Amino acid sequence: MSSHILQPGLEFCYENVNGSCIKTPYSPGPRMVLYSVFGFGAVLAVFGNLLVMTSVLHFQQLHSPANFLIASLACADFLVGFTVMPFSMVRSVESCWYFGAQFCTIHSCCDVAFCYSSLFHLCFISIDRYIAVTDPLTYPTKFTMSVSGVCIGISWVLPLLYSGAVFLTGISDDGMESSVTAFNCVGGCQIVLNQEWVLIHSLLFFMPTFVMIVVYTKIFLVAREQAIKIESTVGSSNADSSSESYKARVAKRERKAAKTLGVAVVAFMVSWLPYTIDTLVDAYMGFITPAFIYEICCWTAYYNSVLNPLIYAIFYPWFRKAIKLILRGEIFKSSSSTMSLFSE
């Protein structure tokens, strides 16, 4: 460990503490900009996802297995914005960790758990949409509340178990004692994963992502076939016109929901791909990524927790109406939970 006496020209995270990390702060202008950008993202993640959860849980019209999955996904993104992003903001801007070594481990555990929880939720949502699009009339009997509950449970339990195994037991840095010593200066919060755990880390991202790509490819193929079939029946015999009209409306609604959540899946992959690839490459190349590149990858991933509520606001009229009712305080009225959010 280097002492401050030997390196008087450097600035350290903790003055008068031997082994302190070297501090590389930004000048006041960029510092203010970064705090504003990161802080705004954290606020949007917290309040945007809080609006999603409140909408689904309060309005009875939104009480469905699929929407409870969306609310649970919003909970994971809310926790990223509330428990992860504020502390990462200070670390990124100040280039120092001022919250203690134990909280660094807890923070990293929450970071991984909540982000993988989002991924698992999106994977189950894609499967839900596939069932809804391919068989919309019997879908309610297949994807029930109990099935949704099992999916939600898996989406929370597995990431928590994995992150606990990686960070709380310390087995993820076996064989990397020299790297751990180099990174673990006082005032740093750098988690070092050996190559085996980095590979597992990456597979846990790429496997569900591959499943989602395959599922959504099938969804759009089926949706196209349905659209062609519906168009071909227009103008034909009207013997079963009411039945066909109902089927068409149901199929159209499910296709629209699938497209919207498909956008959310693409946004997740685009947000998390740089970080995942950087982590994988870094482990096999001797941790050569500059600190600012690593922080860019981290915050690109964090901002995914901001995107989902914005996607819902753009594509779901019922969510926009729910937001207006919530912000006006109308949800505190006794009959507000039974209000209609749909135009139909």
* Structure confidence at residue 1 (pLDDT): 38
Question: Domain for residue 248, yes or no?
Answer: yes
The whole-model pTM stands at 0.85
**Core vs surface per residue 183-208: b (16+ CB within 10 A) or e:** bbbbbbbbbbbbeebbeebbebbeeb
Question: Domain for residue 10, yes or no?
Answer: no
- Of 42, 38, 36, the residue nearest 306 (C-alpha): 42
Residue 230: band (very low, low, confident or very high) from pLDDT cuts 50, 70, 90: low
Contacts (Cβ under 8 Å, ≥6 apart) of 193: 166, 172, 173, 201, 279, 283
The rounded distance, in Å, linking the Cα atoms of 85 and 299 is: 8
* Structure confidence at residue 247 (pLDDT): 58
Question: Domain for residue 203, yes or no?
Answer: yes
CB 128 within 8 A of CB 69: yes
1 three-state secondary structure: coil
164 three-state secondary structure: helix
CB 193 within 8 A of CB 151: no
The answer, yes or no, to whether residue 186 has pLDDT greater than 90, is: no
Question: Domain for residue 119, yes or no?
Answer: yes
Question: Domain for residue 14, yes or no?
Answer: no
Q: What is the DSSP letter of 81?
A: I
The rounded distance, in Å, linking the Cα atoms of 245 and 223 is: 16
The answer, yes or no, to whether residue 281 has pLDDT greater than 60, is: yes
Overall number of domains in the chain: 1
Q: Which residues span the domain enclosing 228?
A: 28-233+242-332
Instruction: Give residue-wise pLDDT tens across range 26-61.
Output: 888 999 999 999 999 999 999 999 999 999 999 999
* Structure confidence at residue 267 (pLDDT): 86
Question: Domain for residue 67, yes or no?
Answer: yes
Q: Give the number of other Cβ atoms within 10 Å of residue 336's Cβ.
A: 15
Question: Can you say whether the dihedral through the CA atoms of 65, 123, 56, 220 is positive or negative?
Answer: negative
Question: Domain for residue 15, yes or no?
Answer: no
Residue 285: band (very low, low, confident or very high) from pLDDT cuts 50, 70, 90: confident
Question: Considering all CA atoms of the chain, what is the largest pairwise distance in Å, rounded to the nearest integer?
Answer: 92
User: Domain with 105 in it: what CATH number?
Assistant: 1.20.1070.10
Question: Domain for residue 140, yes or no?
Answer: yes
Beta bridge partners of 22: 12
